[in-house]
Amino acid sequence: MHAAAAVSEDSAIRRARRVEIAEGLRRILPPASVIADDEPLRAYECDGLAAYRQVPLVAVLPADEAEVRAVLRFANQHEVPVVARGSGTGLSGGATPHGDGILLVMSRFNRILGVDPLARTAVVQPGVRNLAISERVAPYGLYYAPDPSSQIACSIGGNVAENSGGVHCLKYGLTVHNILKLRVVTIDGEVLVIGADALDAPGYDLLALMTGSEGLLGVVTEVTVKLTPKPQVARVVMASFAEVEAAGNAVAAVIGAGIVPAGLEMMDKLATRAVEDFVHAGYDLDAEAILLCESDGTAEEVEEEIGKISTVMRACGATTILVSADEAERLKFWSGRKAAFPAVGRISADYYCMDGSIPRRELARVLRRTAELSIHYGLACANVFHAGDGNLHPLILYDGGKPGELSRAEQFGADLLELCIEVGGTITGEHGVGIEKINQMCSQFRPAELERFHAVKAAFDAKTLLNPGKAVPLLHRCAEYGAMRVTAGKLPFADIPRF
């Protein structure tokens, strides 16, 4: 059979399969909730990792938990893969559709079901925007602490799937530290209530297991979140440094001094220049790097802590130190950090956002190696990250229209992830593994550990229908990746000690 004929036959089989699945779904859902035409399906072909695209076979937009249960029962009965999708802001390809599967779009689950200001909790559906929770509970003097840069758009269901953080996660924790209970639908359509309204629940900690599981174990339909009292005062120290490595050393010194800031962020010159041109946050354009360090609490606590932070920054070589004078200036300083990703998007045709975590003591060293890799691959890299907890977000600039640049960006990113592992860190801090980092899971974990991950997956989803091919690699893939990485018996970055 000629190649063209084979493609035509495959397309015909796919069309027939789409018709079959769509007709079956329309028997259990309102017909308008089932999307089965190529053009409208293209709106869902990727998440925030736009370099990887796949049109789903069918997309469905359920309106309530009963419809989610019906879709999952149908998928289980007919052995059709299912990928759940929230707002589509994820950055690891976790919501990339399966080409032969159902995309379960949870955007209609967008209601805040209840707020208990005394218990400091809120019950929300997974499609609720992160920022909408804080807006709703502001009259009670409360807010929801995890604040990803995409909080204006990202959904709580996606935050749970990826265990998202944000600029204030250093003091207030990731998503897993700020939720109490989940309602989850399994692949066979059963509802599980995981966690409790109390601070603890008997049995295994399935709440922690489900948080960050990237849609591999079940579909979240309801989340009980913890709410945090707004601090009386919050102020930001903005410190400039003449060297990126000096800023990295200052981060370790702040934490080493026993200070736990509300947030501690770092941006290098490429990032600050892009941001300043975009939002005019008042950043020092001559500095090689700036640190944003926030203190919150009572006025007395903040005053004392700001003094300690400033002393440490000066000792580490800060050339300029500014302290926000009021709330407006504090928000102005943070506006630049929050807008860093879109700002970099204005100066580059494309960028590849990585996510890895390292011990703080290795910050200076890893930033130096990042600069060397930037030269090696011929691609600029803007560093914007949660420095306080060592969560790196290098933005690798490339042009997808130029042959070979995406491939170079991917290899640059892969080398950075391997570097994170080799200095004792991990391949993700909050973006998840998805499809982007699945090869590096082979370096992060041993085969015996990956086998246990697959055993957990099988306990919830024996047919591997939920988000297949994501997060946890098969062992044969790891064998292939290991053979590819080793050249003449030598691993990259062999000069860096292993822990």
CATH number where 7 lies: 3.30.43.10
Of the chain, the end-to-end C-alpha distance in Å amounts to 54
- pLDDT above 70 covers a percentage of the chain that reads 95
Return d(Cα 445, Cα 451) in angstroms, integer. Answer: 10
Tell me which residue range forms the domain holding 338.
233-343
The one-letter code for the residue type at 318 is A
The 10s digit of each residue's pLDDT in 8-63 is: 667 888 999 999 999 999 999 999 999 999 999 999 999 999 999 999 999 999 99
Q: Band the pLDDT of 278: cuts 50, 70, 90.
A: very high
Does pLDDT of 336 surpass 70? yes
Predicted pLDDT at 2: 58
Select the more confidently predicted residue: 123 or 149: 123
Rg of the Cα trace of the chain? 23
Global confidence as pTM = 0.93
Residue that is last in its domain, among 343, 369, 386: 343
Average pLDDT of the segment spanning 249-277: 96
pLDDT at 496: 37
Closest CA to 107 of 74, 136, 80, 84: 84
Structure tokens at 276: 């300043």
Query: Is residue 408 a part of any domain in this protein?
Result: yes
User: pLDDT per residue over 402-434, tens digit each?
Assistant: 999 999 999 999 999 999 999 999 999 999 999
Q: The CATH number of the domain where 306 resides is what? A: 3.30.70.2190
What pLDDT, in 10s, does the model give residues 195-232? Answer: 999 888 889 999 999 999 999 999 999 999 999 999 99
Tell me: do 359 and 476 sit in the same domain.
Answer: yes
> What is the average pLDDT value for the chain, to the nearest integer?
94
Q: At what angle do helices 363-377 and 244-256 cross, to 10 degrees?
A: 150
**Structurally, how many domains does the chain consist of?**
4
Check if the beta carbon of residue 293 is closer than 8 Å to that of residue 263.
yes
How does residue 329 score in pLDDT terms, banded at 50, 70 and 90? very high
**pLDDT (0 to 100) of residue 484:** 76
d(CA 326, CA 401): 45
- 135 and 87 in a common domain: no
Separation CA 156–CA 153 (nearest Å)? 10
Tokens of residue 277, six digits? 């041109």
Interatomic CA distance for residues 324 and 327, integer angstroms: 7
Q: Is 459 left (phi over 0), alpha (psi -120 to 50) or beta?
A: alpha
Does some domain include residue 499?
Answer: no
* Co-location of 323 and 271 in the same domain: yes
Do 269 and 395 reside in the same domain of the chain? no
